[in-house]
Amino acid sequence: MQPYTIRPAVQADLPAIVAIYNSTIAGRQATADLQPVSTQSRQAWFDAHGGNRPLYVVESTAGQVLAWGSFSDYHPRHAYRISAEISIYVHQDARGRGLGRRLAEYMCAQAPAL
């Protein structure tokens, strides 16, 4: 049995999602944001996901969010509706364990049904 599960994100996950995202800002390699974002400022973004653009979290058996991934519109034009951008962020304490790769594989397996 794996020491984690991958599941759709729920509202209660948003603070952990934002914390993981914010932890990547200083490194300037994973995002173009220069300042941390707030949970409140990310609420509309969170709400916009679902349906064919879901958010997923990797959760430890202890209930800690270790990573998250999202599908987002690649481009707003209708012809691009079948294309999506995948974003994956991993908690700094969980990096280097293959969670990002496993989450990407999971998300790619889900993509055809979306």
| Model pLDDT for residues 25-74, shown as the tens digit of each residue | 876 666 666 688 899 999 999 999 988 899 999 999 999 999 999 998 88
- Tell me, what's the pLDDT at 30? 64
Within 13 Å and on the Cβ side, how many CA atoms surround 102? 18
Amino acid at 82: I
d(CA 36, CA 42): 11
* CATH number where 22 lies: 3.40.630.30
Report pLDDT digits (tens) over 78-113: 887 888 899 999 999 999 999 999 999 999 999 998
Domain that holds residue 81: 4-113
pTM (2 decimals)? Answer: 0.88
Instruction: Tell me what pLDDT residue 1 has.
Output: 53
- Total domains in the fold of the chain: 1
Looking at residue 114, its pLDDT comes to 85
